[in-house]
Every structure is written in structure tokens, then in C-alpha cells.
Structure 1
Amino acid sequence: MDTSKLKICILTAAYNEEQNITTFYEAVKKVIEKLPFLFEFCFVNDGSKDNTLSVLKTLAAKDANIKYVSFSRNFGQQIALKAGIDAIDADAIVMMDCDLQHPPELIPKLIDIWLAEKVNIVNSIREEDKDLSWFKKKTSQWFYKILNKISDLKLEAGQADFRLIDRQATQTLKNSKEHDVFLRGMIQWIGYKQAKMVYTPQKRHAGESKYTFSKMFKLALAGITSFSVKPLHGAIYLGFTIAFLSLLYLPYVLYSLFTGNYENGWSSVLLTIAFFGGLNLIILGIVGVYIGNILIQNKERPLYIIQEQNIVER
């Protein structure tokens, strides 16, 4: 294979990252200019409210290998990456964050594994970050354990959106029309030959993480509901279990009724009503999430809206 003709695209999603983009571009370019491949950048501006788009336009004016896509509003990182995948025509795509937590120095290693092992996808596994809070570490561990138990996916803890995918995997992802985009799950679901690389995350160059607790919860919910219907099965099993347990209380009720040995109390009644009312709401909520996903999917709204871009549509 003539590697000099291989085209590799560096894909990143940017939301309010004006302080990081130029530094990220320069750091990556310093690494890739030494490699015998054709490279280009694709930045997806995810509805930033700062000067992210202006910085991208300035860089694109200086370097013809910089492509950008700008959304009309914020759609989320996963959808932004999907938009980049849809727009790119390359032999391989390297997805990474532009805050420099994904080390640019590891790009050659990703490519070497791809070519040497002849795989379609090279995933990265993040080593435990000692600076992460106890809460974030535990919630991440719990998420992967729960997802692996209630779905057919087997995601390794620490799997990140820092990966390489080849043209065949890219085309498969382009054909996906799902609205709840969870790329880590989709990457595992599509199969193909995959390899992995362990890396140590760097400190964020500037700014703060855009992944709030609510966004992480939404991503986790999308991961679970997109690849498993076991929560619905669990709701059924839970309903039958509680119904069976409630029957065990029936003999006591009948005995008390016939012997007149019972007390009029409201606390036990309120507790029972509150418990079963809360349980019903939980089960209805689980069902509602799936029905909501069906509703959104059937509306067939576009996954994202591009306000402007410098990529010529093919």
C-alpha cells in the first residue's frame, strides 16, 4: 500500500473553544507534518456562543486543509461528531477533543496500529485520571457496568471518543439515521475488526469541561435506551414481583378482618400509596423514554442544521 496517498482527517467538535482551537491545530500539525500521509482537519462548531467560528475562519483562510462545519445552535458533541463523519471523505478519520486532553503525539500510534493490525477501528482506553473527582470516577464505572449488564454491548471502562475509524466503518456510520447518537455504543455495535490503545489523558489546555452532570446523564440514558430494551423487561418483572409479594399480605388482611383484630391507621396506607405511586411513575417514565424516542425518530427532523461550512458538497 502506498501510504503517501492515504488521506487522514482529524475530526473534532468545538463548543466555546476559542482559547483551544489554535493551540490544538498547531500541536496536531506539528505531529502530522512529519508523517507520510495526506492530512486535513474538520472542525464542527457546535453552536458556540464565543468567537470559535471566527477563529476557525481565520485558520481556514491560512490553511486550505482546514474544513469547518458550523451548526445553527448547540446540538451536542455526539451529533457534532456524526456531522463531521457525514461530511468527510477520507481513508481514515481520527476523532479527538480540541482541549488537548487527547494527546496529539498518539496520532502516529493510532495509525500504526490501524495499518499493522489491518483493523477497521482503533479505540482508545483512558487510564484513570487521578485528578478526577470521586463522584465522576464512580459514576463512570457504574455507567459501564450497568450498560454492559442490560445490553448486548461490552464497553470497556474508560473508552473515550479518541479513536481512528477507516472508510468502511465511516460509511456504515454515515448510513445510520438514529437521533439518539451514542458513538461509543455504535462503534461496538457495527462490529468490524477492532483494536485498542491505552493512553493517559492530559490536562485541559484552557477553559472548563462542557460536560455537565445533566449532559452526562443524558448521554448515559441515550446509551442505555438506544441499545437495550431490558429496562422494559425489568419493569415487567418488577411489577410481577411486587404483585406476588402483595398477595402474601392477603392472609393477614383476611385474618384481621374476620377476627376484628385490626387498627385504623393512616401511616401504613400513605406509605403503601406513596411506594406504589412512585413505582408506577418510574415504570411509566421508562416506557415514556422509549415512546418519546419513537416519536422523535418518526418526525424525521434533521439530526442537525448546518448554518455555514466551507466543505463543498459532493
Structure 2
Amino acid sequence: MSDLFKLSIVVPCYNEEEVLHETTKELTKIVDDLVKAGKVTETSKIVFVDDGSKDKTWQLIDEFSQKYQTVSGVKLSRNFGHQGALLAGVTSVSKDSDAVITIDADLQDDVNAIPKMVDEYLNGAEVVYGVRNNRDTDTAFKRGTAEMFYKFMGFLGVKLVPDSADYRLMSKRACEVLLSYRERNLFLRGIVPLVGFKSAKVYYARKERFAGESKYPLRKMIKFAMDGITSFSIVPIKLIMGLGFFIVLISILLLIYSFVQKINGNVVSGWSSLMISIWALGGVQLISISVIGEYVGKIFSEVKQRPRFTIERDIYTEKTQEENKR
């Protein structure tokens, strides 16, 4: 791949007015440097995807798109979530881009890894993962839970790239395959490895958030993890079946024990053991029903076939059409 190629950088945004100036500054510099180095075309773009922000995010995107030729934007009609915004951006740009990079707007992912990703692409890799080389910026709790999550997903048979989030480069062909996956319950970290093709990794040090607040508090992280688990494996349902058989075995053993105690005349009446059993079994049943309900809920959302996102305005396409007319 020695010829120049068109690169598009997709940046999902939700209430990111505090960081957009700096993000635009750093990304435009990276793109300009790649153009000067003769690696990407002058038509390469930075595409901010406004995921239903309530602040001035879209206003800033619109202003930057008029000020900088390399900056474009896609505005969603409402909030569709981080994964939906990423997919919307990839859908818009993949039609006429040779490669697409996705990166969050908060500047925690080092933009200086982008040239390395481009080099890996030029060397033949069609999927290049940005991988953190350490978790020094995370709390001990977050480090521990992240490690447990990756190990558990591996146990379930889900192939993930550890310490890799949604910072990656994908070729046009890889993007086309990704978009052919039609599920509504999006967990791109699990879907992208299924795409196949030659892949590579670029390691970088994750930084502190430049400004603003994290859009992934504990509640959303737990939901994200649950989506990942239930979207890619039915092992939890099988574990419930195993748990059921285990409890039945225990009940049979307790029944035999009760008969033996009855014969020996050692029966002690009391409600403690009975209440503990009722509460324990009740808790197991509720958890089991909840897990099964999670899968049923996903079936419910899949069969309705509702749009995964709705685009209100697409500045990227508008600019591309203008450029093609010239």
C-alpha cells in the first residue's frame, strides 16, 4: 500500500464542549502531519459525531467544520449511546474512506499513536488495535474489575483484546464486514475481533481526561459489561442449569440426612434453617430469572429491528459531495 489513502477519524461526542477545542487542535495537527509526510490524502477528515448532546457540542462542531476543511460532523437526532454513535460515524465515512480510526473525544487515548496505526496499515494490517501499556491512571477498583471482566469474558469464550477499548483503525473492507453485523445490542469490542483479517497492535500510555467528566460512571460500566457478556455468550444460562442441578443434589442430601436424624431421634425443631433455605433459594431463583430475562429482553429489542441510530444532519456527506463536484 504505497499510494496515498483517505483516512477518516471518527470521534463520538456527548456533552464534550469543554474538550472539543483541544481535541480539534490535536487531531488536525496529526492529520496535517500525515498529509505532509505523504501518507494520507488532503481529503482526509476528522468527523465528530454528536450523540444528542445537551450543551454546545454541536454548535462547536458546526463552527469547526466551517473553519477547518478537515473537520466534519454528524448530528444524531437523539442520544443513542457511545456504541451507536461510533457505528453511525463509521457508517457515514466508510463509503469513501480507505481507512477509519475511532477515538474518544476526551484525549485520554494518546493521539500520537495514530501515525503508528497508519504505519501498521501501510504494512498490510487491516485492523489495528490501540492497546494501553498500563493502567496507572485507573483506581485500584477499576483495574481489578477490568482484569476480572477480561478473564471472565475469556472463560465464556469471547475473544477480546485485553486493555483495548474503542481506539482502533479499520480498513474499508474491515468496516464493510463490521457493518454487515446487524445486531442492535452493540458491543463493538467483541464484534471487531470477529471481523478477522490481518491485525496488529499499537501500545500507548493512557492519559488523564483533559477536561469535563467521565461519561462512563460505575452504573454504565456495569451495564456495558452485562451487554458484552449477554451479547456474546449463553454460558450464563448454562451455569444457571448447573446451579439448579447442584441445589437439587444438596436438597436430596439434606433429605437423606433428615431421615437419618429422624431414625436416630435427633430431630431439633426450628425455623432458622428453614428460613435460610427459603431466602437462599428465593435469591437464586430471582437471579436466574433476571439472567434469563436479560436474554429475553435482547431478543425483544432485536426482533423489533428498530434503527440503531438516526442521523439528523451529516456535514461529512455534504462536504464530500461538494468536493466531488469540483
TM-score band, normalised by shorter chain: over 0.9
1:294: how far off? 0.3
Query: How far apart, CA to CA, are the structure 1 residues paired with 2:207 and 2:3?
Result: 29
Query: How far apart, CA to CA, are the structure 2 residues paired with 1:107 and 1:252?
Result: 66
Q: Which residue of 1 aligns with 2:153?
A: 147
Residue from 48, 52, 56 that aligns with 1:47: 52
Alignment of 1:1-314 (within 5 A): 1-4=1-4, 6-35=5-34, 36=38, 37-38=40-41, 39-88=44-93, 89=95, 90-116=97-123, 118-151=124-157, 153-258=158-263, 260-312=265-317
1:201: how far off? 1.1
Q: Counterpart of 1:197 in 2: which secondary structure?
A: strand
Query: How far apart, CA to CA, are the structure 2 residues paired with 1:129 and 1:247?
Result: 48
Q: Counterpart of 1:24 in 2: which secondary structure?
A: helix
1:299: how far off? 1.0
Query: How far apart, CA to CA, are the structure 2 residues paired with 1:284 and 1:303?
Result: 27
TM-score (ref. length: structure 2):
0.91
Q: Counterpart of 2:166 in 1: which secondary structure?
A: coil
Query: How far apart, CA to CA, are the structure 1 residues paired with 2:2 and 2:69?
Result: 23
1:311: how far off? 3.7
1:66: how far off? 2.3
Cα deviation, 1:173-222, whole Å, max 9, x if unaligned, reads 11221111111111112222111111101222111111111111111111
How many residues are paired up? 311
Which letter maps to 1:47? G
Which letter maps to 2:53? S
- Tell me which stretches of 4 or more aligned residues in structure 1 moved more than 6 Å: none
1:255: how far off? 2.8
* Identity rate, percent: 36
Q: Which runs of 5+ in 1 are unaligned?
A: none
**Do 2:28 and 2:46's aligned partners in 1 also have CA atoms closer than 8 Å?**
no
Which letter maps to 1:12? V
Q: Which runs of 5+ in 2 are unaligned?
A: 322-326
**Do 2:88 and 2:309's aligned partners in 1 also have CA atoms closer than 8 Å?**
yes
**Do 1:16 and 1:48's aligned partners in 2 also have CA atoms closer than 8 Å?**
yes
Query: How far apart, CA to CA, are the structure 2 residues paired with 1:93 and 1:110?
Result: 11
Cα deviation, 1:201-249, whole Å, max 9, x if unaligned, reads 1222111111111111111111111111111111111111111122111
**Greater Cα offset, 250-259 or 168-177:** 250-259
1:308: how far off? 2.5
**Do 1:17 and 1:207's aligned partners in 2 also have CA atoms closer than 8 Å?**
yes
TM-score (ref. length: structure 1):
0.94
Which letter maps to 1:98? A
**Greater Cα offset, 18-27 or 47-56:** 18-27
Which letter maps to 2:107? L
**Do 1:15 and 1:46's aligned partners in 2 also have CA atoms closer than 8 Å?**
yes
1:259: how far off? 5.1
Q: Counterpart of 1:50 in 2: which secondary structure?
A: coil
**Do 2:113 and 2:202's aligned partners in 1 also have CA atoms closer than 8 Å?**
no
Query: How far apart, CA to CA, are the structure 2 residues paired with 1:311 and 1:10?
Result: 11
Q: Counterpart of 1:263 in 2: which secondary structure?
A: coil
Q: Counterpart of 1:161 in 2: which secondary structure?
A: strand
